[in-house]
Structure 1
Amino acid sequence: MTIEAKIEAPKSDLDKQKAYAESLSAKGFKYTFAVGTAFVESMRNTHYKHTGTALDELIDNSIEAGATQVCIALGYSGKSTATPDALAVIDDGHGMPKGMLQPAAAWGGTHRHNEENRSGFGRFGFGLPSASVNQARRYSIFSITEGGNWRSLTVDLDDIAAGKYTDNTDTVRMPDEVEGTEPPKWVMEHISEHMPGGKLTHGTIVLWEKMDRIKWKTTKGMRDNLLQHFGVMFRNYLQQVGLKFDGTSIEPLDPLFLTPGFRYFDEDEDRAKALEPAEIEVKSKRNPDKKVKIAIRYALFPHRFFSRDKDKDAQHGNSNNRFKVANDHRGVIVCRMGRQIDVVERTPWRGLEKFRNDDRYWALEIDFPAELDEEFTIANSKQGVVMSDRIWDLLQDAGVERVIRTLRKEVSAMQKADASKPEDPEKDRASEASMKESEKFRRKRAGGTSAEREAKAREQFEQYVKQKAKEQKRPEETVRNEAQEEEAKHPYKVEFASHPNAPFYRVIQRGAMKVLEINMSHRFYTDLYASAAANRFLRAGLEVMLFSVGEAELDALGNQDKSNFYHVEKIAWSERLEVALDVLHRFGHDEDVVDSEDDNIAAE
């Protein structure tokens, strides 16, 4: 006799929800808010960085429910559309079956917490209620399944505080579902205008009212911030799921700027440079026989990648749209199943404990599967990640630490090349022009210029002429005439040279020209003057400072005691500065400040 095994089709997410709701009903489960009003009020303090990160939770739920379109709509009580007083997240997912709205509105009400297959974003059922009470004092859920009617449930924190939901045992009860109540008129109008087909036969709406903790109060403030935020967080899902905010489609935005077609990829002619991606094969702790992979991406950005005017640094209004994205992603970008979770700003590796401002010129992303959730401890709000020691060790073994150090060196080399790049020979540098203009205000030295200084200046000039004539294989007289013309145009000049173990600068007088020579072998140059954090204004300021000190040295020529003082002290300053700048690297980035006025869009 042959017995055929009966193979059951896997249950859909909607079937699982029905089974979960029926099991709770069969047990006679009493829906409460845990331990009353104090618990609900305390959950308002669940940490969300801003309104966008709270809304991320609701978008996660929509995607898990199989939505193909998610719309975030704004509601207004008056004629003005400047400041919304209500917000709705609308999706065309499968909707919730009868009996599911109460657990969905409560903390921990989910059918996913024990699932072996961690294919979704959420696991513990905290997202919807936590995000909602964090931003508003009243939230409602409206849901409809195919062929069914609208059902709704409303939670009002003021009603809870007034005891409306409290029974004679002092237990705060969850309100019942209401059958047949449609969403507000303005929500239905938004559905008609922006959802596929102009209607919703299945899906869910989460409505926020009494919004007392919204970060951006105005419609403009929300749009300016949230269009970019959602584009980053859900960049890997926006090809399959349409997402709109206030009627505007969200464009995917890769913070590594490596994906063609994504927002800001072709902001201008500059392109991010992709390094070789990597994968780490990891044994799952939950299932030791199973191996999963962590994907790693790197990017390096050109020196003027964030500048509008490519001849200037990204400072003082010259930063482009990429700047804020990169500045918000200085660190290890962590994604779970393609959905961005956090940017980790510290590592356990020496010298990389804290990321700094110039780390915006490169980017690193790791994407891990849900199988490794225990290794990437994620906060219930899905905003914080704490990677285990094992993961840090695996990343180090895979070369991530080495690549970060290499990227920092590349950035430093770009900055040094820019700092010492010759400028237009016909134009003065800012510091040179400043010194020339301020010359007329300079206090005249008693007794005039010393004979020793004049003799030294002539000697320096002749040495320069002979050296250039030899290097260029040209007549000395020709070189001398050109040098005299140059010193007439440029009485102050900045030059660069490499002199190991020498002072960090020197100022000499070459004929009528005063020359500031900056030593590229000293830490003053590598760690300060040519660092990624130094903009042109700062470098010009340092040049002016050294010109000013150097002129005092030149004035001392002819006075043996003063000359000796500067000679000895400059050596001492240089030695002290070399050591202090080395030590500064351990402390100097703990209090980093953003050095652009464009870093944050002000809350409106």
Structure 2
Amino acid sequence: MSESVDGYDIAAPDPAGMVASLSSLGYSLEAAIADLVDNSVSAKARNIDVEFTWAGRDSWIAVVDDGEGMTEAELVTAMTVAARGPATPRTSADLGRFGVGLKSASFSQARQLTVATASASGWHTRTWDLDVVEKFGEWRLMHGADDETISLLDQLRSKADRGTIVLWRRLNGYHAANVTDDDTPTQKQFYDEATRTESHLGMVFARFLSGARRRRLRVSGTAVQPWDPFLTNHPSVQRLPVEELPLGTSSVRVEAFVLPSVHRLGQGEYDDAAGPRGWLDQQGFYVYRRDRLILAGDWLGQRGMRREEKYNLARIAVDIPADADVEWGVDVRKSSVVPPVGLRQHLNRIARQARTRAAEVLRHRGQVAARTHGDPLLYAWNVRRVDGHVTCRINRSHPLIQAALRSGGTSTDDIRAVIRLLEETVPVTALRVMHETDTSDDPEPFGGAGQADSDATEVAERIYGALVSDGRSPAAARARLRTMPPFDQLQGFWSG
């Protein structure tokens, strides 16, 4: 739709196309709900309830708070797409920026968005029905709502005289004609999403769920528990020095943490510390804006830094000022950031320090687990790094191994015990933390490709003898050896 004016055209976006664009921003359900909770926090709500109600294709989700509410004019502004630009002055409690969060988050999840709100002037209700917008090609913000929606709003607000209710109906993925009330698999999926939402909100709003400013946040009646990615109260956490990095007229606060290894955590602590996405995906930077988590577990595109298990214990808190959104490239969904060029070198340095410390903690734990030193009677494997190469050897001082090597014969039970011991104690942890992914340090059997040394030849002769004893001809035994690792990469009597 366009209008010609002297010297230029008014090229207003088509409402249906705009709705499609806002609906396709890539929100997950939990991220979309977090955007609604942002508004409740900004409205100084003390109690926030997220309700998931299964009713087949009529299932619905609502966010209900006891915040300051809005006047009718404020409600219309809040329901208008991009009514406030990113440069609009906001209060220190406002977690928004673009003025599209409520709408884009809601349109990504539902075809009908209804908001009912009350301040001192009583309750007011407005509804976006995307079918209506697309049918008429106009931004028709409906007064009130249909009877069924009004009935739900009455239930949700109960006797409250202020606050805000955001109600999603005709949910994407659930409003299909083939979804029925007794569709058990779809119902399970619906409530699984509620569980994921609970975990996500506990991570994103952890700082609001504890301390003096504590809010009560519930999902379907269950209190959301704050998740602390840094285990700040654990005595074994290593805290690197806090740095205040200058950015314009303000500064960015950065604090790196190295979490304790698993042997210093109880099983429950370890499972909880893994976070909603698991250890590997939770390592890295955690970027906060006004105490709201924007990005969780990411290396921010730092050169040469990727997720690796040996860095699982490294987590870094970054607090950015609210007026630095532009410099940090905070997106509409509040789910990604791009660090300012001037800070990248400092962030890289801090990240490398944290990663090095984290790898050292795991390496030490791996060495203890594999016992590269210490009592030789306890561990079946020795793992070492020698001349830049990782070596893995069976501990010949172990009593069970010595019994198997003792002259005069060994019982079959002893051999079985040795094999079982080796199977159950493969030093995976030590190998993982000692292996440097950017170097060629993989163990090379018998020194690598080339002429077999005496040790390799002795082992090959034993295997050759066993094959012949088992009925193979000498030629067939040598042919079989030539296909066996590592002899397929070595030259010896079997090669001809």
Q: Provide the TM-score with structure 2 as the length reference.
A: 0.69
- Give the 3-state SS of the residue equivalent to 1:137 in structure 2: strand
Q: How many angstroms apart in 1 are the aligned matches of 2:390 and 2:26?
A: 51
Q: Using the alignment, how far apart are the partners of 1:297 and 1:206 within structure 2?
A: 37
Counterparts of 2:388 and 2:96, CA distance in 1: 59
| 1:504 correspondence with 2:475 | no
Amino acid at match of 2:243: E
Letter of the structure 2 residue corresponding to residue 301 of structure 1: P
TM-score w.r.t. the length of structure 1 is 0.58
Identify the residue that residue 302 of structure 1 maps to in structure 2.
261
SS in 2 for 1:107: coil
For 1:217 and 1:533, how far apart are their aligned partners in 2? Answer: 42
Amino acid across the alignment from 1:228: S
Using a 3 Å threshold, how does the CA distance of structure 1 residues 253 and 174 change in structure 2: closer, same or farther? Answer: same
Structure 1 CA distance for aligned equivalents of residues 404 and 82 of structure 2: 80
Alpha-carbon deviations, 1:177-235, whole Å to 9, x = none?
3499996444443444xxxxxx3211111100011147996453134312221111001
After superposition, what is the alpha-carbon deviation per residue over 1:86-114, rounded to whole angstroms, capped at 9, x for unaligned? 01111111212122333322320238742
Determine whether 1:385 maps to 2:337: yes
Query: Could you say which residue in structure 1 is the equivalent of 2:66?
Result: 92
Partner amino acid, structure 2, of 1:504: T
Deviations 1:10-65 (A, max 9, x none): xxxxxxxxxxxxxxxxxxxxxx99422121122110122x2110011111111111
Secondary structure of 1:153's aligned partner: strand
1:173 is the counterpart of 2:173: no
In structure 2, do the counterparts of structure 1 residues 499 and 510 end up closer, same or farther at CA, with 3 Å as the change threshold?
farther
Paired with 1:300 and 1:51, the residues of 2 have a C-alpha distance of 30
AA partner of residue 39 (structure 1): M
* Residue aligning to 1:556: 461
Say whether 1:224 aligns with 2:195: yes
- How much identity, in percent, do the aligned residues show? 20
Output the CA distance in 2 between the equivalents of 1:185 and 1:116.
34
Pairing 1:250–2:224 present? yes
In the TM superposition, 1:258-407 aligns within 5 A as: 258-259=232-233, 273-284=237-248, 290-304=249-263, 308=267, 320-325=271-276, 326-343=279-296, 345-347=298-300, 349=302, 351-352=304-305, 354-396=306-348, 399-407=350-358
List per-residue Cα deviations over 1:428-476 (Å, max 9, x = no partner). Answer: x8xxxxxxxxxxxxxxxxxxxxxxxxxxxxxxxxxxxxxxxxxxxxxxx
SS at match of 1:378: coil
Report which of the two structures shows the higher radius of gyration computed on alpha carbons.
Answer: 1
1:553 and 1:104, CA in 2 relative to 1: closer, same or farther beyond 3 A? farther
Aligned to 1:200: 160
Structure-2 residue corresponding to 1:115:
89
What one-letter code is carried by the residue in structure 2 that aligns with 1:331? G
SS of residue in 1 equivalent to 2:243? strand
Q: Which residue of 1 aligns with 2:205?
A: 234
For the 8 Å contact 2:383–2:431, the answer to whether it is kept is no
* 1:513 aligned partner: 405
Contact 2:381 2:392 in 1 (8 A): no
Out of 4, 25, 28, the position equivalent to 1:46 is 25
Question: What is residue 56 of structure 1 aligned with on the other side?
Answer: 34
Specify whether residues 204 and 309 from structure 1 end up closer, same or farther in structure 2 by C-alpha distance, changes over 3 A only. closer
The correspondence of residues 148-187 of structure 1 with structure 2, limited to 5 A, is 148-161=121-134, 163=135, 165-166=136-137, 172-178=138-144, 184-187=150-153
2:76 alignment partner, SS class: helix
Q: Deviations for 1:292-334, whole angstroms, at most 9, x for unmatched residues?
A: 3424241322134677399xxxxxxxx7343344344122111
Query: What's 1:437 paired with?
Result: none
* Equivalent residues in 2 for 1:398-437, closer than 5 Å: 399-420=350-371
What amino acid sits opposite 1:36 in the alignment? P
Change (3 A) 1:364 1:322: same
Instruction: Label 1:181 to 1:153 Cα distance change in 2 as closer, same or farther (>3 A).
Output: farther
Question: Relative to 1, partners in 2 of residues 1:529 and 1:495: Cα closer, same or farther, differing over 3 Å?
Answer: closer
Change (3 A) 1:495 1:573: farther
The residue correspondences of 1:67-82 to structure 2 (distance < 5 A) are: 67-77=45-55
Q: Is the 8 A contact 2:369 2:427 kept in 1?
A: no
Tell me the residue number matched to 1:209.
169
Deviation at residue 411 of structure 1 after TM alignment: 2.1
Q: Cα 1:533–1:91, aligned 2, differ >3 Å: closer, same or farther?
A: farther
| SS of residue paired to 1:52 | helix
- Distance in 2 between residues matched to 1:503 and 1:59, nearest whole Å: 50
Q: 1:358 to 1:496 in 2, by over 3 A?
A: closer
Secondary structure of the residue aligned to 2:367 is helix
Q: Is the 8 A contact 1:90 1:204 kept in 2?
A: yes
Q: Which residue of 2 aligns with 1:591?
A: none
Instruction: Give 1:155's aligned amino acid.
Output: W
Cα distance, 1:350 vs structure 2? 5.1
RMSD (Å), alpha carbons = 4.5
Q: Mind listing any 5+ residue stretches in structure 2 that lack a counterpart? A: 1-10, 175-185, 407-414, 416-425, 436-442, 465-477, 491-496
Match of 1:530 among 431, 437, 462: 431
1:277/1:297 contact within 8 Å kept: yes
**Alpha-carbon separation, structure 2, partners of 1:558 and 1:122:** 71
For the 8 Å contact 1:150–1:181, the answer to whether it is kept is no
Cα pair distance change 1:320/1:105, threshold 3 Å? same
Map residues 436-447 of structure 1 onto 2, 5 A cutoff.
none
- Distance change >3 Å, CA 503–CA 37, structure 1 → 2: closer
Would you tell me which structure has more strand in proportion to its own residues?
2
What are the Cα deviations for residues 391-414 of structure 1, in whole angstroms up to 9, with x where unaligned? 2123346x4432322322332222
The alpha-carbon distance between structure 1 residues 132 and 498, as it changes in their structure 2 partners (threshold 3 A), is closer
2:78 corresponds to? 104
